[in-house]
Chains A and B, each alone.
Chain A
Amino acid sequence: MSDKIILEVKNLKKYFVMKKDLLGRPKKVLKAVDDISFTLKEGETIGIVGESGCGKTTMGRSVLRLNDITGGEVVFNGETVADIPARKLRKLRTEMQIIFQDPYSSLPPRMSVGQIIGEAVKVHKIVPIEELRAYVLDIMGKCGLQPHYYDRFPHEFSGGQRQRICIARALAVRPKLVVCDEPVSALDVSIQANIINLLEDLRDEMKLSYIFISHDLSVIYHVSDKIGVMYLGNLVELASKDDLFDNPLSPYTRTLFSAVPAPDPRKKMSRIILTGDIPSPANPPHGCKFHNRCPECMQICKMIRPEFYEAAPNHFVACHCYYRHYELHPYEPVSVPPSTLYVKSRKQG
C-alpha cells in the first residue's frame, strides 16, 4: 500500500426526485446518499457496510459516475469525475470498474466467455488485436478459469464460476479502482471463500484499490483495511478495521456487531436487539436518523442531526455521545416539544 491517494470523495450527495410540482421543480426528494466523505489510498480496500436501502450501492455507482451526482465531488487520480466531458469519460471507464452482485443477471447470455472478457479490451485497444486471445486467456488463468472455457456461454457455469467471469471482465481493462458491489452475497459459503481469496490475491498482484460493499460484517472484516458504516444515506462511522472492531463508538455500529451470529455455540453474547425496522429513506426521522431505534437515545438526538467529526485520531463518527464540545457550545433550545417530533417521525417511518 502506497501513500498515494487515488480517490477522494468530498460531501457526495445523490438525491432522487420523487415528486415534481407544476413547474417541474422537485417537491419531494429521496436523499439516497447524503453528505459522504472519505479517501482511498492506492492498494487499499474500504469496506462499506449497512442494511438494505441505506444507499451503499448508490454511493458506489455515484463514485463511478454511473449516475449523476447532486452535490459534492469525486476526485479520482487528481481529476474531478463530474467535470470530465463525455468523450473522455470512456477513457476513464478503463480505470474504474465494477463487479455486480448477481452473477446470473450481469452476464450477456448470447456472448461467449472470451467475447465477454475481450470486448472492452478490443474497444479500448489495450493490446494489439493479434494478441487479444492470448491476453484474455492470461486474465482467465489469473481468475481461475480454464482455457477451454473460452468458447463457452455463461449458462453453462455455476454461480461461483460466473462471478469469476465477472471479475475477469472487470480486470481485463487494467483498472486501478474496482467497486465490488456485494460480490459474494449470492454465493454459497464454500464458494464465497474462493472468491474472497481470489479478490485479495488479485489486489496484491495488480495493485488494485477496492470499494467493497456488503451487508455481511464478517466478509467486510476479512477484506477491508478501513470500514465505513452507513445508515440511511449517511456515514455513521469511519475508521480503520482494528479501530472499528476494537472500539466501536456509534451505538448503531455496536448493535450491528452484536447482531451477527457467531458460529460458536458456547459463545454467549450480550445481544442488543433493535426495535422496529429501518425507516424509509424518503422520510428519515428528524434529528439523528437513528434516534428512534437507538438504545442510547438522548433528548438532543431527537432534535439535532449530529455532525460527522473526528472523535479520535482517524476515527470519524456521527453521534452526540462523543461530542466533546457540547458543554462549550450548548445548542439553542428548540421551540417544538420533542415528544411531537418523535410521534411525527414515527408516523412517517
Chain B
Amino acid sequence: MKEKLQNAAAFIRKRAIRFGKAVKKFFTDIFGSDSGYISRKTEKEISDYNRKEIKRLEKEKRRKLSPEDYRTEMQNPDNIAEFDDLKTYFYTDRGTVKAVDGVSFSIPKGVTVGIVGESGCGKSVTAMSLMRLIQGPLGQITGGEIRFAGRDGYTYDMVKIPTKDLYRIRGKEIAMIFQEPMTSLNPVFTIGNQIDEVLITHLDMNKHEARKRSIELLTQVGIPMPEQICDRYPHELSGGMRQRVMITIALACQPRLIIADEPTTALDVTIQAQILDLLRRIKTQFDGSIMLITHDLGVIAEMAEFVVLMYAGKIIETGTVDEIFYNPLHPYTIGLQRSKPVIDSGKERLYSIPGNVPNPINMPPYCYFYDRCRFRTPECKKGYPPFVQLTETHGTACWLHQRSADADYENAGTFTTDAATTDTVNTNTANMPNGGENF
C-alpha cells in the first residue's frame, strides 16, 4: 500500500514538472526570450543596486576638489581633446545601459573628426559627456577621463571639473550645434536676444556692443538682412535659417571645438549642401576643430578627415577617411558602406546587415556584432575583441584583425609559421569590398 502511494506521488510529481515545463515553454513562445519581462525580485535587485550606485557617484561628484585634482596633462600637445576609456552608464529600472563603454580617441587641433554609428550607439552621449550635459541622476559618467586643452594653457579633466570652471568652458571654448534647430532655440526670445546673451555672459560685452557683434556674426554665416532678422522669433524662420542661427550662437565666442550633433539631418538636401559649405568655411576662419556626429556616410566622406565608428557603445574602427572608405576592416564598417544606396553604382540588390543591434541592457560577453557578422568564426565567441592599432592611424576591434596583428607582431616580418591564418585573413579583407555577388 505504502509503495503504491509512493509510486503515485512520484508519478504526480513527474507530471507536475512536465506540466510546469510546458507552461514555461508556452509563455516563452508567446513573449519570446527577449520580451523584456522581468520578475518582481530582479526588479527590486536592480533598483537597490541603482540606488546604491547613484548615491555613491553623486557623493563623488559633490566632493570638493583642489585644482590639482582636475588639472591634467595632455598625452599629445597637438590634441585639443582626448577621450580616455570614457564610461557613461544609465541606471534604468530594467538594468544598466552602458551607452558609452570604454571609448578612447582624440581630436587633434584644426581637424574635423567624424563620429559615425546607428541610432543608439552612443555617439551623442559621447559628445554630451564632454559637455557634461548627461541627465542625472540616472545618467552618470562612471569612469574614464576627458582631457580638454583650455585656452588659458591648462588641461582640464572634464569629468571632474567643478561647475564654476565648467561654466567658463562650456559655450565659450566648446560649443554645440544640435540636430533639431527648432527645439533648441528658445521660442519666446528673439534671435538677436539669444545671440546677445552668449556674448554678454561669456565676453562681458554691454548690450550695445553685443548687438553690433551679433549682426556681424549673422552676416558671416550668410543671413540676408541681419538687422531685421535679429528682431524675429525662431518660428518666423525656415529650417535652414534656424540652423544658421544655431551656428552663429556656437561661433559667437570663437570656440576651440565645435560639436555638431547631426547638424543636417532635419534639413533638405539643397539646404544641407549650404550648411556643410558654411561649416567648412567657418572652420578655416576660426581655426578650431569640429566633432561631427552623423549617421550619413556621405556627409562624413565630404567633411571629416578622421573617422571614428561606433557600435553599441564601443569604438569598432578608427582611421583617416581614406582608410575607412578604401580599406575598411571591421565587418560592420563594410556592411554599412555596402548597404547605402549609391547613385551610379548600378548594383541591383543592396547588401543588408541581418538582425538588429543587441539589447543594450544585456550585452553578450563576446563580440557585440557576432550575431550579425558575416565573417564570424567560433573563436569570435571567446570575449570582446580588444582594440588593435594596425597602422599609426588605423585601428579596429575585431578578432579577425587581432590575429593578423598578433602574428605580425610575433613573427616580426616572417610569415612562415602562421602563414595559413594570416593568409586567410588577408584574402578575406582583400575580397570584402569586391566580392559583391556573394556578399
Q: 1/0 per position for A255-277, CB-CB distance to B under 8 A?
A: 11111111111110001011101
Query: A190 near B29 (CB under 8 angstroms)?
Result: no
Query: B301 near A264 (CB under 8 angstroms)?
Result: yes
- In Å, the complex CA distance between A190 and B339 comes to 6
* Given known A-B contacts A156-B36, A190-B336, A273-B277, A197 and B325 have beta carbons under 8 A apart: no
Q: Which A186-219 residues have a C-beta within 8 angstroms of B?
A: 188-194, 196-197, 200, 215, 217-219
Q: A192: which B residues are within 8 A, CB to CB?
A: 339, 341
Verify if A52 is at the interface (C-beta below 8 Å from B): yes
- In Å, the complex CA distance between A277 and B268 comes to 10
* Given known A-B contacts A190-B339, A264-B301, A274 and B351 have beta carbons under 8 A apart: no
Q: Which B320-342 residues have a C-beta within 8 angstroms of A?
A: 321-322, 325-326, 335-337, 339-342
Verify if B297 is at the interface (C-beta below 8 Å from A): yes
Q: How far is the CB of B247 from chain A (nearest CB, A)?
A: 15
Most buried by B among A148, A258, A259: A259
A221 partner, pick from B238, B269, B341, B353, beta carbons under 8 A: B341
* Given known A-B contacts A221-B343, A263-B325, A273-B274, A194 and B352 have beta carbons under 8 A apart: yes
Verify if B421 is at the interface (C-beta below 8 Å from A): no
- In Å, the complex CA distance between A271 and B280 comes to 14
A256 partner, pick from B270, B337, B340, B353, beta carbons under 8 A: B270
Query: A193 near B351 (CB under 8 angstroms)?
Result: yes
Q: 1/0 per position for B231-249, CB-CB distance to A under 8 A?
A: 0000000111100000000
Verify if B58 is at the interface (C-beta below 8 Å from A): no
Q: A296: which B residues are within 8 A, CB to CB?
A: none
- In Å, the complex CA distance between A266 and B390 comes to 22
Q: Which A16-44 residues have a C-beta within 8 angstroms of B?
A: none
* Given known A-B contacts A190-B336, A264-B325, A217 and B269 have beta carbons under 8 A apart: yes
A190 partner, pick from B272, B325, B353, beta carbons under 8 A: B353
- In Å, the complex CA distance between A188 and B301 comes to 18
Query: A189 near B270 (CB under 8 angstroms)?
Result: no
- In Å, the complex CA distance between A164 and B200 comes to 51
Q: How far is the CB of A110 from chain B (nearest CB, A)?
A: 17
A189 partner, pick from B118, B269, B272, B326, beta carbons under 8 A: B118
Q: 1/0 per position for B179-215, CB-CB distance to A under 8 A?
A: 0000000000000000000000000000000000000
Verify if A151 is at the interface (C-beta below 8 Å from B): yes
Q: A200: which B residues are within 8 A, CB to CB?
A: 349
Q: A194: which B residues are within 8 A, CB to CB?
A: 352-353
- In Å, the complex CA distance between A277 and B353 comes to 37
Name which residue of chain A comes closest to B344, CB basis. A245
Query: A156 near B295 (CB under 8 angstroms)?
Result: no
Verify if B76 is at the interface (C-beta below 8 Å from A): no
Verify if A222 is at the interface (C-beta below 8 Å from B): yes
Verify if A160 is at the interface (C-beta below 8 Å from B): yes
Number of A residues with CB within 8 Å of any CB on chain B: 45
Query: A51 near B356 (CB under 8 angstroms)?
Result: no
Q: Which B275-329 residues have a C-beta within 8 angstroms of A?
A: 276-277, 295-302, 321-322, 325-326
Query: B341 near A51 (CB under 8 angstroms)?
Result: no
Name which residue of chain B comes closest to A53, CB basis. B268
Verify if A278 is at the interface (C-beta below 8 Å from B): yes
Q: 1/0 per position for A143-165, CB-CB distance to B under 8 A?
A: 00000100110001010110000
- In Å, the complex CA distance between A245 and B119 comes to 31
- In Å, the complex CA distance between A160 and B357 comes to 11
* Given known A-B contacts A190-B352, A197-B350, A263-B301, A257 and B272 have beta carbons under 8 A apart: no
* Given known A-B contacts A51-B270, A148-B32, A261-B276, A189 and B322 have beta carbons under 8 A apart: no
Q: Which B117-131 residues have a C-beta within 8 angstroms of A?
A: 118-119
Query: A190 near B270 (CB under 8 angstroms)?
Result: no
Q: A257: which B residues are within 8 A, CB to CB?
A: 343
Q: B272: which A residues are within 8 A, CB to CB?
A: 259, 261
Q: How far is the CB of B146 from chain A (nearest CB, A)?
A: 27
Q: How far is the CB of A167 from chain B (nearest CB, A)?
A: 15
Verify if B434 is at the interface (C-beta below 8 Å from A): no
Query: B273 near A189 (CB under 8 angstroms)?
Result: no
Q: A256: which B residues are within 8 A, CB to CB?
A: 269-270
Query: B342 near A219 (CB under 8 angstroms)?
Result: no
- In Å, the complex CA distance between A191 and B274 comes to 28
Query: A277 near B241 (CB under 8 angstroms)?
Result: yes
Q: How far is the CB of B67 from chain A (nearest CB, A)?
A: 42
Name which residue of chain B comes closest to A159, CB basis. B119
- In Å, the complex CA distance between A218 and B36 comes to 37
- In Å, the complex CA distance between A271 and B27 comes to 58
Verify if B271 is at the interface (C-beta below 8 Å from A): yes
- In Å, the complex CA distance between A234 and B390 comes to 53
Q: A193: which B residues are within 8 A, CB to CB?
A: 339-341, 350-353
- In Å, the complex CA distance between A261 and B322 comes to 16
B238 partner, pick from A215, A219, A260, A277, beta carbons under 8 A: A277
Verify if B35 is at the interface (C-beta below 8 Å from A): yes
Name which residue of chain B comes closest to A148, CB basis. B29
Verify if B30 is at the interface (C-beta below 8 Å from A): yes
Query: A189 near B340 (CB under 8 angstroms)?
Result: yes
Query: B297 near A215 (CB under 8 angstroms)?
Result: no
* Given known A-B contacts A51-B269, A190-B118, A190-B353, A260 and B335 have beta carbons under 8 A apart: no
**Can you pick out 6 interface pairs between chain A and chain B where the beta carbons lie within 8 Å of each other?**
A161-B356, A189-B296, A222-B341, A257-B343, A263-B300, A265-B321
**Interface of B toward A, CB cutoff 8 Å:** 29-32, 35-36, 118-119, 238-241, 268-274, 276-277, 295-302, 321-322, 325-326, 335-337, 339-344, 349-353, 356
> 6 more A-B contacts (CB under 8 A) besides A192-B339, A196-B341, A263-B340?
A193-B350, A196-B350, A259-B272, A263-B301, A277-B238, A277-B241
